[in-house]
Amino acid sequence: MGLQCGIVGLPNVGKSTLFNCLSNAKAQAANFPFCTIEPNVGVITVPDDRLNKLTELVKPRNVVPNTIEIVDIAGLVKGASKGEGLGNQFLGNIRATNAIIHVLRCFDDGNVIHVDGSVDPIRDKEIIDTELQLKDLDTVDKRIQKVEKMAKTGGDKAAKRTFDILTVVKAHLEAGKSVRSAPISPGDFEFIAELSLLTAKPVLYVCNVDEASVNTGNAYVEQVRALAKEENAEVLVISARIESEIAELESYEERQMFLDDLGLEESGVNKLIIAAYKILDLYTYFTAGVQEVRAWTITRGFTAPQAAGVIHTDFEKGFIRAEVIKYEDFVRLGSEAACKEAGKLSVEGKTYVVEDGDIMHFRFNV
C-alpha cells in the first residue's frame, strides 16, 4: 500500500541510530530483506509470527511479508515553519508520510551533548510540535479565507460545515494543541483531510532511554506518557544503545541470546515496527498455497472486495465471493483441506468485513 512513517527528532536524541538499526532488522524478521529506496528511506519488513507459522505448515515455494516504509526525516531548527534551515524540506517530508515516529531523549549522559544544553523531553516535544502547529495554522488560515465567504453568504452547506470545523481547529492550534486531539468527530476530519495537516497525523512517541530503564521506564518517560495520553497517542520505550549493539551481532541466534541476557522478549526495533504498523490502523490478511504464502496489508474496516482489490483492481471489480479460514483454525487443523472437512471454511459476500489474520481466497470474474 506504500504507507510511510516518518522518524523525527532533535539532534542527538537517537533518531538516526534507530533508523540505522532498522536496516539490520532482517535477522529479527526471518531473514526478509531491508532495502533502501533513497539514502533516508527504507522498506522494513513487519515481523509477524503468523506468517512464519503458515510457512511451516504450507511449505510454499515463496514467502512474501508485509512491509512499511520508514523515512529518516532531515533535522529541524526553530523557525522551520517559516522556512528556516531545512524547514520547508522537513515539513514537506512529514506531509508526505502517513504517520509520525517522534523520538525523544529520555536519558542522562554527559558524553552526549544535548542541542539545548539539558535533557527535557517535554521541551523537545514542544519544539517540534510548535513548528508543526504553526505550519498547520498557516494552512488552516488560508483555507478559512477561501471558504468563509461561501459559508456566510451562499447556500453551500459543505462550505458552512467546513468553515465551522476549521474555526474549531484554528482555536485548538492557537491554544498550542495538535489537530489530532481537536474536539471534532471522525466524520469532521473527512472535511479537512485534503489539507494533509501535519499534526492531524497519528504519532508514536519513542522514548530513548538508558539500559537500566528499558524495562521499567523512568521519570522522563512518565512525563511523556502523561502528555501523550492527552493526545490519545502511543508511547514506546527503547534503548537505541542496546539496539545498536544488537544490530552488530551477526546471526538471529546471537541476537536472541543477547536479548535473553537482558531479560527482553524481543528487540525494541521489532516493537517499533509493529507499533508503527498499528498506528497506521492496518490489518493483515493472508493468502496461503504451495506456490506462495503472502501477507497483505489493508486498512482496518476493509470489506472483502476492498481487500481483494489490494491484490489487483480486477479482483475488486469482478468480486464474486471470498473463502475465509480463521488463522487459529488453520493452525489448529493444519491445512486448508482439513479446515474444509471440519466446516471451518466460510463463504463470504461483498459486505464481509475482513478481520486481522484471515486467510482468504477470492473468486472473481472480469
Binding residues: 12-17
Closest residue by Cα to residue 307 from 295, 297, 317: 297
Sheet of 35-38: strand order equals 35-38, 41-45, 67-72, 4-8, 99-105, 203-208, 234-238
Contact status, residue 289 vs residue 362, Cβ threshold 8 Å: no
Annotated binding site for ATP: 12-17
Total length of the chain: 366
Contact status, residue 292 vs residue 321, Cβ threshold 8 Å: no
Q: How far apart are CA 293 and CA 330, in angstroms?
A: 13
Q: How far apart are CA 315 and CA 355, in angstroms?
A: 18
Closest residue by Cα to residue 68 from 219, 273, 267: 273
CA torsion angle for 180, 181, 186, 188 (degrees, to 10)? -90
Alpha carbon distances (Å) from 65 to 39, 45, 177, 194: 23, 6, 37, 31
Contact status, residue 60 vs residue 335, Cβ threshold 8 Å: no
CA torsion angle for 218, 73, 174, 125 (degrees, to 10)? 10
Beta-carbon contacts of residue 229 (< 8 Å; ≥ 6 apart): none
Contact status, residue 354 vs residue 325, Cβ threshold 8 Å: no
Contact status, residue 322 vs residue 362, Cβ threshold 8 Å: yes
Q: Three-class SS of residue 69? A: strand
Contact status, residue 69 vs residue 2, Cβ threshold 8 Å: yes
